[in-house]
Amino acid sequence: MISCENNDNTIDDPRPVDKNVYQFQFKSYVVKNTVLYQGAKGEKSTPDESYLNKYWSLYQEPAWEKISLDLKNKTIKLLSETSTTDFTYSFTMMNDSVMIKENNNNKPTYIGDFHKDTSSFTLKRTYRYVKKVPRDDHDALLITKSAHFGTTQYENIFVNIFSTPSEMIKTGDQVLWSNIEYSYK
């Protein structure tokens, strides 16, 4: 063989080209667990998924229909087709776990798992509801309802408002959380 371009290298590079940007579309969700502590004794239960509709009517659909993961620039974009809640974060990875920096927090926030072999992403969201009934005439009713990236466990919900379920001394006291995984392909 003769090469007209002075390139006599006829061996192709057999290594696959790594993809730098992955585009994901929402496919499905799974409720991983729902935990409820309530009442004057802080009794624990695990209600089924239908219980969540009382607190979050839209938990079945994620806030973002699409996710763009740029491995070269280390950015993840969460894209909504129906609102202006698009966000871009820089990220780091530990194994398949994706960690972002948000709200000027020094500690990275776990957002989900990137599965390179299947070109999929699992976005982890946790929903929290805490209600503290007034203890005396000077206290106000306290209700917090929020959604966060990552997962909630006993250790990170019984911290501020109630330190333990034993502090739940009024009938209306409630602590509820649910961990939901949104799958993207």
1 pLDDT more than 60: no
Paired strand residues for 183: 28, 122
The two structure tokens encoding residue 125: 């969201």
Q: Which residue has the tokens 């957002």?
A: 111
The span from the CA of 129 to the CA of 32, in Å, is: 17
Helix/strand/coil (H/E/C) assignment for every residue in 54-93: HCCCCCCCCCCCEEEEECCCCEEEEECCCCCCCEEEEEEE
Instruction: Determine whether 37 is exposed, middle or buried from the number of CB atoms within 10 Å of its CB (0-12, 13-18, 19+).
Output: buried
The single-letter code of the amino acid at 1 is M
Confidence band of 19 (pLDDT split at 50, 70, 90): confident
Per-residue pLDDT band at 114 (split at 50, 70, 90): very high
Mean pLDDT of 145-161: 93
What's the pTM?
A: 0.85
Length of the chain: 185
What pLDDT does residue 5 have?
56
Nearest to 112 by CA among 102, 125, 122: 122
pLDDT confidence tier of residue 162, bands split at 50, 70 and 90: very high
With a cut of 60, say whether residue 111 has pLDDT above it.
yes
Q: Average pLDDT in the 53-61 region?
A: 92
State yes or no: pLDDT of 168 exceeds 70. Answer: yes
Predicted local distance difference test score (pLDDT) of residue 15: 47
Specify the higher pLDDT residue, 54 or 19.
54
Alpha helical stretches, state H, the chain:
154-157
